[in-house]
Structure 1
Amino acid sequence: MIKVKQVHSRTDLEDVFTIRRKVFVEEQKVPADLEYDDYDDEGAVHYVATLNGKIVGAARWITTDEGYKLQRFAVLPEARGNGVGSELVKTVLDDIPSDGKKIYLHSQESAVGLYLRHGFVIEGERFEEAGIGHYKMVLKM
C-alpha cells in the first residue's frame, strides 16, 4: 500500500532529506551543495511517500517566476517499479493551485516516461544538471 502525504513536521522533513541524500547524493553522486538549497528551509512544499509503512520516496514543488516547478522526486531503489513515483506525481499535481500558471519540471532522462504518463511533454533540448541528462517538461493544460 502506497501513501503520500504533505510534510508538516520537522521529523517528516528529516525523512525527506534522508531519502534525497540516499538517492541523489549517495546513489547518483550529486554534490550535497547542489542537492540542498534555500527552498528547503522556506518556500517549498514537501511530500513523503511510504510503501507498506516504510518511508521510500520524497518530492517537492516550488513557485517560480515561470509558474510551479516540481522537483526532487526520489524513490529508493528497492521501492522502484511499485507505483510510488506515480503516486507522488498525482498527489503533488492535486495539491498545486489550479490558477492557470504553468506547471513544469526538469526530468532526469530515466524518468521521462513517468512524467509523460502524467500529461507532461518535453519542451526543448536535452541538458545537464549535476552531470545528469535532463529534459524540461511542461504539463499540457
Structure 2
Amino acid sequence: MPLKTEIKKVTDPAELEKVFAVRREVFVGEQNCPPELEWEFEDESNHFLATVDGEPAGAARWRKTDKGYKLERFAVLSKFRGHGVAQALVKAVLADLPAEANYVYLHAQIQAVGLYGKFGFEKTGPQFEEAGIQHYKMVKS
C-alpha cells in the first residue's frame, strides 16, 4: 500500500518539537553535528514537518537572510529515505517562498546535490566544510 506523505508549515510548539526531534536524530545523532551549531535562527525561520502515514518523517526550513532566501535543515529520518519525502519537502518549501524571493540558495551536503539539481539549483563556488560535513553552495536558477 502506498505511503501517504504530507508536508505542512508548522508554528505550534508541539509540532515544532517534532521538527526539532527529526533534526536532532539526523544531524546530531547520525551526522555528529555539534548541537550548538544545529539550533540557530529558529525564531526567524519558517519550519516544515513531513509526515508519512501521520508519523514524523522529515523537516526543513527557510529564512530570509541579508543575501536572499536560504533553504536549510532538510532532514529525513533513515527509515523514510527513498520514498520521495525529501522531494516533497523541497517542493513545499519552494512553494511557500514569497513572490519577491528572486535569490534562493542553500548549502547542500554532497550527497544531496543531485536532489536539489532536480529543482533548478546549480552549484556555485568550491566545495566547503560546514559542521564537519562537505557542502556546496547552490543557487536556484
| TM-score of the pair, normalised by structure 1 | 0.96
- How far 1:101 sits from its partner (Å)? 2.6
Q: Indicate the residue corresponding to 1:111 in structure 2.
A: 112
In the TM superposition, what whole-angstrom CA distance separates every residue of 1:7-55 from its partner, at most 9, and x where no partner exists?
A: 0200010001000000000000000001001x11x21000000112111
**Equivalent of residue 22 in structure 2, options 2, 6, 19:** 19
Percent identity of paired positions between Structure 1 and Structure 2: 51
> Runs of 4+ in structure 1 displaced over 4 angstroms?
none
In structure 2, how many angstroms separate the alpha carbons of the residues matched to 1:53 and 1:16? 13
Runs (5+) with no aligned partner, structure 1: none
In structure 1, how many angstroms separate the alpha carbons of the residues matched to 2:107 and 2:11? 25
| TM-score of the pair, normalised by structure 2 | 0.96
**CA RMSD of superposed structures (Å):** 0.7
Q: How does 1:1-141 map to 2 (within 5 A)?
A: 1-37=4-40, 39-40=41-42, 42-140=43-141
In structure 1, how many angstroms separate the alpha carbons of the residues matched to 2:57 and 2:112? 17
How many residues matched?
138
